[in-house]
Structure 1
Amino acid sequence: MMDVDASLTLLGGFGLVQSLNFLVYLLCSGSSGWLLTGVSFTIGEPDGYRCSLPPINGTGVGDTVFAEECELIHEDEEAGKNVTTGCLYGWDYDSIHGETSSVTDLELVCDRAILAGTLTSIHFGGALAGSYVLGQLSDLFGRRLIVFGSVIAVVVTGTGLSFTWSFGLMCFLRFLNGCCIPGLLTVSYVRQIEMFTPNRRVRAQLCSEMAWVIGICLLSPMAYLLPNWRDFQLTISLLCIPLIPLVWFSFESIRWLVLKGRVEEAEEILQRIAKSKNISHTGYFLLDQQDPDLQNGNQPSKVDAIELETKPALENEGSNPEKPPLEDQDSVPAVDDSKRQSPGSKTNKATILDLFKTRALIMQTLFVFFCWFASSVVYYGFFINAGNLVGNKYLNFFLISLTEAPCYIINYFVMTRLGRRRPLIFYYLVSGVACVVTGVIPAETADGTDLTVVILVIALIGKLFASAAFDVLYLATAEIFPTILRSAAVGAASVVSRAGGMVAPFIVYLNVIHNSIPMIVFGVVSLVAGLLVLPLPETNNRALPETLDDGAKLTSKEPTEDDASPAEV
C-alpha cells in the first residue's frame, strides 16, 4: 500500500501544475454556490400581486370591480350586493426592478402558491439524491470524471430550464439540475482536500469555503443586472462552460488512483509535477507505507539525491503492488486472483444500520442528525427568505452571503482554542435568539420609527452564527464517530442535511399566514439544536476514535494519556 502523503511531502510546496489544478476545482466550488442558491431569484416571490381587472365592458356584472390578491370583487349597485370571484383574468405583479421568476411566468400564486415551494423543494431533493449517487460514482469512476460529467449536465439542464414553460418539465429539469450540483460541490471538495498533506488540509478547506462565499456573493449583482429570471438562469448555466475543458485537462486524484491500484498513472502525475518544479531523482515518488522515513514522519533533506526504491516492483509486476517479485514467487503460497482485494478495500464495511446498534450510539446519532437538519434548514432558509426581509432583497442576499467570510476565518482560530462543543452550542443559541427576535420585531414602531436597519442587522447576526455552526458541525461529526462508522455517519448526515434543504421552502411558505413565522421557526429549530449538542462529547485534542470502544471513551470530560492526540502525548 502506497503512502501518498509521504510522496507529496517529497514534492514540497505547491508548484504551478498543482496550483492550476487546485484553482480549477475551486472554480467548481464557487460556481456550485450560485447554482444551488440561485433558486432564491429564479423561483422568488414577486414584491406583490393582485388579480388582473377584466376588460372594459367585459364583466357583465356591474359597474365597479375591485382587485385583491386572490379575488375579484364585483360591486353590483342595482342589487345592492357584492359578487366575489376568483382571478378570472390572471394576475398583475409588482416588481420594483422589473424582475420576473418562475412564480410570475407560471402564475404560482394563491391556490397554486404551494407549487413554488414544491419547485424549490424538488431542486434540493435533486441535490439530496445527487449527494449520495455522485459520491458513490466518484469512488467507482474517479473524481475528475464525475466532476466533468456534472459540469456538462449542469449546463444542459440549466439551459433547458431557461426555455421551458411547462411546470411538469420544469420540475423534471429542476430535479436533474439539483442532482448534478453535488458533483461540483461535494466531489470537487473531496478532490481539493485530497491534494494536500494533513498539516495543510485546514487551509485547503478555508480556501474552498472562500470560493463558495465568492460564488454566492456574485449571485446578487448578477440577478440585479438580469431581472428576467430566464436570462439569469441561462447566464449562470453558460458561465460553467469554461469549466468543461479545464476539468478535462486536470489530473485525477492521486489518492484515488493509488486506492484503485492504478499506481503507474499516479506515478506519472507525480513525475509531471516534479518536472514542473525542476525536481529530479532516479527512483519512484510513490512510497510504500513500510518505509522507515514515512513511519517516522521524516522528510529527506535533499530530494535530488534520493534513491526511492520502495515502490513494489512496478516494472516487473505491472500495476499490482501486492504481487511478490518473480524470484520470490516459489516461497509464497498461491493465492486465487479472484480473492485479491484492491489496496483500499476492506473486509468489513459499516452501513448506516450500524449507527443504531447501541442505545448510546442511537442517541448520539439522532442528536447529530438533528443538528445537520437544523443547520441546513436555517442556512438555506435564510437565502430563500431573503426576499421577504425588509429592505432591498438584492442587498439583503448579498449581505447574508458576505457574512460567511468572517465566520469561516474566525472559526479557523476558535476551533483551535475552544474546541468544537462549546462554540457549537454558543453559535446555535445566538443564531436561534437572533432569528426569533428578527421575526417578532415590527417594521416600525407605534410612533413611526423605521426599524428596517435593526431587523436586517439582527438577521445578519443570525445568519453569521448559523453559518459558523454548520462549519464546526462538519468537523465535529467526522471526529465524534469511530473510523469503522465515520464514512457511513457523515454520508447519512449529509442526506439528512439535504432533507432540511427540502423542508426550508415550505417553512418560508408559512409567511402567507404571517411574515414573522418563518424566522421564528428557524429560531426554535436552532435553539433545540443547541440544547442537543450538550450531551455530545468534546473532540478537540482527542485522537480520532477507531472502534466503538474508542468512541465510548470520548464521553469522558478530559482526554486521558491513552486517548489524547498523538501530538499531545
Structure 2
Amino acid sequence: MSQARPTFQPVHRTAKMPKAHTEVDPLLDALGGRGRYQLLQYFVSKIYAFTAAFQLLNFVYVARNIPHTCGQPNNISDIFTAIDDDAFTINNSDIFYDKCSIRVVANISGDAETKQLPCLYGYSFDERKELSIISDMGIVCDRAPLKGLGQTLLIVGQGVGAAVLPIFSDRFGRRPVHLISHMIVLALGVGVAFSPTFTVFLVLRLILGLFQQGIVLTDATIGIEVFPTRYRKLVAFLSNIGWCTCHLFLPLVAYLLRDYSWRILQLGCCSVSAVIILQFFFLEESLRWLVANGNPKQIKRLLKKAARISRVDYQHVLDVYDSLHSGHEQLDTKKEQEGTLSKEQADALLTEPVVHTVDDETHSLLDFIKDKRLGLNVAVLWFIWFTDSMTYFGLYFTSDALAGDRFVNVVLLIVVQMPSSVAIYYLVDSIGRKKTCIFLHLITGFGLVGATVVRELMGNTGTGAIISTAFSCFGFFGIFGAFGALFFYTPEIFPTNIRNVGLGTSSAFSRFGGMLGPFAGLLSEYVTWAPGAVFTCCCLAATAMVIVLPETKGKELPQTLSDVKGWYVTTDDKRRMDSIAKDGDADETPGQHGL
C-alpha cells in the first residue's frame, strides 16, 4: 500500500515572504513625488505654525514684567495712621516706596527705626499698567508666583491634548482634527484677550494648550505622509525652518504693538489664525491615511484632484492605484493555496512579484507596547522626548544668552537654532537617524558641561559670562536639532493607524519635561551647577538609549504593525531562517522569536 504523501507546509523565507502592507510611495511618485499637489498640501498645512507659535510664545510679551513700586496715598498722614505708633510722625520720618512694601524710617532719639507696610494704596508702574496682564490684574508681590501658571497650565494642556487628540486623528483622519483644533485655538485666543479675571485667563490658556497640540501633531503627521520616503529629510528641514521663521514674526508683531494694551497684542497674535481660511479650501485628507483605512471612492476622488493639480495623467495614477488594490486579492489567493501545494510550487508562487496592499490589521498603541521589543522602543522615545523638552526649556530660563531686550531675546534664540535645521538636513541621510540624534545630544551635553564648568570656575560676569554664553549656544544648537529630528523620526517608527497616537503620547511625555524645565532657575539659586548636571546626565542617558531604536533611513513609512516587526525579522531572524531553509526544516516560521 502506498503511503499517503504528507501535506507540505512551505518555509516562509525572509527574503521572499510577501509583506502585507501598502506601498503608498508608488502612488505619490505617480503624482510627481514632489509635485504641485504635494507641495500645496505641505505648505497649506504648515501655515498653522503662525497660530501655534504665536499662542505658545506670546506669553513673554503679554505677561511681561513692568517695573513698579508701591503707590502713594492721597493723604500722607494715612501712612502714619496705618502704622499706629506715636513715635512715628511726619516730621521725624522718611518714607520710601519700595517694590512690594512702604518703608518708613524714623529718627527717634538719635536712633533710626523702621516700619514696613504692604502696598496699601496700590502700585505705581513705570509704564501704563494695561500693557501687561501682570500689571493690569495685579499679579505682583505676594501674587507674583501665580504668573508662571499662565505658561505652566498651557503646557499641561498640551500634554493632555497630545495624549488624547491623536486618537481621534488616527480614527477619523488628520484633516478634521486639524481644522477643528485650529478653529478652537482661534476662538480661545480671542477669548483670552477679553478675560475679565486672571482665573478666566488661566482656564482659557489651559484649554488653548490642549487644542494647540491638535494642530501641531496632525500637521507633523501630514507633513511626513504627503511625500515619498526619499523626501523625508527635506520635510524635516523645511518644517524646522518654517517654525523658526514664524517665531521671527512674533517679536516683530510685539514690537509694532508695544504701545497698545496686552489685550490688543493678544488679538494681534490671533489675527494670524486667519490662514485657516486657506486650509478649509485647500487642505485634503492624508492619502496614506485613506489608503490605510480603505475608502476607494474617496481615494479616487482625491487622486483625480491631485493629478489635475500636479498636471499628471490621471489614468496612469489610477492604474497604479488599481494595481496596488488588486495586489491584495493576489496575496489572499496565494495564502489560500500555500497549504496544498508542493514545495516547488509553493516556492515558485512565493517568488512571483506582487504589488502589496494593506491588510485588515487594526491595532492600538497597546498592541504595539505589548511586544517587548517594540514596547522598549516606545519607552526610549518617551524618555528622550521628556529629556529634550526639559533641557530646552531649562536652557531657555537659565542661559545668559537670553538676557537683555525682550524683543531681541527671541530673535537671538532663533538665530542660534536655525543652523540646527541645516545640520539635520545633511546628517539624517548621510549618517542616519540614530547617529544624528546621538550626535546632537552629545553636542547638547558638551554645551551644558562647558557652560556649567565656566560659571563655576570663572563666575558669571565679564569673560566668564561671554564664554559660558558661547557654550550655552552649543546647547541650544544641539537640543533644538535633537527636538527637530525627533519630530520626524518618531512618526517613522509607528505604523499609520497609530502613528499620530505614537507621536502624541511622546509629545505628552515631553510636556512633563517642559513643566520641570522652568524650575531650573529656582534650583540654580541654591546649587548653581545642579541644572547643568541634571540636564547633562539626562542627555547622556538619552544618547545611550537611542542605540536600541531601529534605523528608519531609506525605509518606507510602515502601514501596519507587521511592517514594523518585519524590520526585526529581517535583521534578527535572517540567519536563522536561512539555516532552516537550508536544512529543509518546515516546523518554524519567522516572526516567532521574541516577537
TM-score bin, normalised by smaller chain: 0.7 to 0.9
By how many angstroms is 1:8 displaced? 1.6
Query: Match of 2:385, as an amino acid?
Result: W
Please state if 1:206 is matched with 2:206: no
Residue pair 1:352, 1:492 contacting (<8 A) in 2 also: no
Cα distance between partner residues in 2 of 1:43 and 1:534: 39
**Aligned pairs for 1:306-455 within 5 A:** 310=326, 346-351=361-366, 354=369, 368-383=381-396, 389-419=402-432, 420-421=434-435, 422-436=438-452, 442=459, 444-445=461-462, 454=467
Deviation of 1:409 after TM superposition, in Å, equals 0.9
Rate the CA distance shift 1:481–1:197 in 2: closer, same or farther, 3 A.
closer
Please state how far the C-alpha of 1:118 moved relative to its aligned partner: 1.9
Question: Residue 257 and residue 407 in structure 1: after superposition, are their counterparts in 2 closer, same or farther (change >3 A)?
Answer: same
The answer to whether structure 1 residue 27 and structure 2 residue 58 are counterparts is no
Q: Does 1:550 align with 2:531?
A: no
2:101 maps to 71
Tell me how far apart the structure 2 counterparts of residues 132 and 417 of structure 1 sit (CA, whole Å).
33
Contact 1:481 1:551 in 2 (8 A): no
Q: Distance in 1 between matches of 2:73 and 2:523?
A: 30
Match of 1:165 in 2: 196
Cα deviation digits, residues 7-43 of structure 1 (max 9, x gap): 1211224444443332211111343222222222223
Shift of 1:415: 3.4
Q: Could you say what secondary structure the match of 2:273 adopts? A: coil
**TM norm structure 2:** 0.73
Q: Given that residues 439 and 520 in structure 1 are in contact (C-alpha distance below 8 angstroms), is that contact kept between their aligned partners in structure 2?
A: no
1:489 positional shift: 5.6
Moved more, 475-484 or 410-419: 475-484
Alignment partner of 2:536 out of 520, 526, 529: 526
Contact 1:2–1:286 under 8 Å retained in 2: no
Note the aligned Cα RMSD (angstroms).
4.2
Partner of 1:537: 547
Is residue 265 of structure 1 aligned with residue 275 of structure 2? Answer: no
Distance 1:22 1:143 in 2: 13
Residue 56 of structure 2 is matched in structure 1 by 36
Q: Which amino acid letter does the alignment assign opposite residue 301 of structure 2? A: E
Task: Quote the Cα distance in structure 1 between the aligned partners of 2:264 and 2:544.
Answer: 47
**Change in CA separation of 1:442 and 1:231 when aligned onto 2, cut-off 3 Å:** farther
> Would you say the 8 A contact 1:29–1:188 is kept in 2?
no
- Write the distance in 1 (CA, Å) between the matches of 2:142 and 2:367: 40
Matched, 1:239 2:272: yes
Partners of 1:17 and 1:276 within 8 A in 2: yes
Cα distance, 1:365 vs structure 2: 5.8
Percent identity for Structure 1 against Structure 2: 24
The aligned counterpart of 2:116 is: 84
Paired residue secondary structure (1:75): strand
Deviation at 1:198, TM superposition (A): 0.8
SS at match of 1:66: strand
Q: Are the structure 2 counterparts of residues 198 and 415 from structure 1 closer, same or farther at C-alpha, using a change threshold of 3 Å? A: closer
* Residues paired across the two proteins, number: 508
Give 1:530 shift.
1.5
Structure 2 partner of 1:175: 206
**Alignment deviations for residues 90-112 of structure 1 (CA, whole Å, 9 cap, x no partner):** 334456x9994332222223322
Residue in structure 2 matching 1:114, options 142, 145, 152:
145
Structure 1 portions without partners, runs of 5+: 295-308, 314-320, 325-341, 564-569
Q: Which has the larger radius of gyration?
A: 2
Preserved CA contact (<8 Å) 1:7 1:286 = no
Residues 175 and 285 of structure 2 are in contact (CA less than 8 Å); yes or no, is this contact kept in structure 1?
A: yes
> Which stretch of the first structure deviates more once superposed, 105-114 or 378-387?
378-387
What is the SS of the residue equivalent to 2:428?
Answer: helix
* 8 Å contact from structure 2 (residues 388, 483) kept in 1: yes
Deviation of the 1:524 alpha carbon: 2.8
Distance 2:232 2:314 in 1: 27
The match for 2:478 among 436, 454, 465 is 465
Q: Aligned partners of 1:504, 1:43: CA distance in 2, in Å?
A: 19
Q: Is the 8 A contact 1:146 1:183 kept in 2?
A: yes
* Mapped contact 1:378–1:466 kept (Cα < 8 A): yes
Task: Give the whole-Å Cα distance in 2 for the aligned partners of 1:431 and 1:560.
Answer: 43
1:380 partner amino acid: F
SS in 2 for 1:113: helix
Q: 1:191-243 CA distances to partner (integer Å, 9 max, x unpaired)?
A: 12211111112212211111111111221222222224322211111221232
8 Å CA contact 2:30–2:316 kept in 1: the answer is: no
> Which ranges in structure 2 are unaligned for 5 or more consecutive residues?
1-20, 334-356, 579-595
Q: What pairs up with 1:147-166 in 2 under 5 angstroms?
A: 147-166=178-197
Q: Distance in 2 between the 1:122 and 1:194 partners?
A: 31
Query: Normalized against structure 1, the TM-score is what?
Result: 0.76
Report if aligned partners of 2:401, 2:472 keep a CA contact under 8 Å in 1: no
Separation in 1, partners of 2:519, 2:147: 9
Which structure is richer in relative contact order (CA contacts within 8 A, separation 6 or more)?
2
Q: CA deviation at 1:89?
A: 2.5
Per the TM alignment, residue 146 of structure 1 is displaced from its structure 2 partner at its CA by 1.6
Q: Name the residue aligned to 1:7.
A: 27
Contact 1:407/1:467, CA 8 A, preserved across alignment: yes
The separation in 2 between residues aligned to 1:423 and 1:21, in whole angstroms, is 32
Q: CA 1:282–1:549 in structure 2 vs 1: closer, same or farther (change >3 Å)? A: closer
2:69 equivalent in structure 1: 50
The residue type paired with residue 396 of structure 1 is: N
- Shift of the 395–59 alpha-carbon distance from structure 1 to 2, 3 Å rule, reads same
C-alpha change, 1:194 and 1:492, in structure 2 (3 Å) is: same
CA distance in 2, matches of 1:484, 1:144: 15
CA distance in 1, matches of 2:495, 2:219: 25
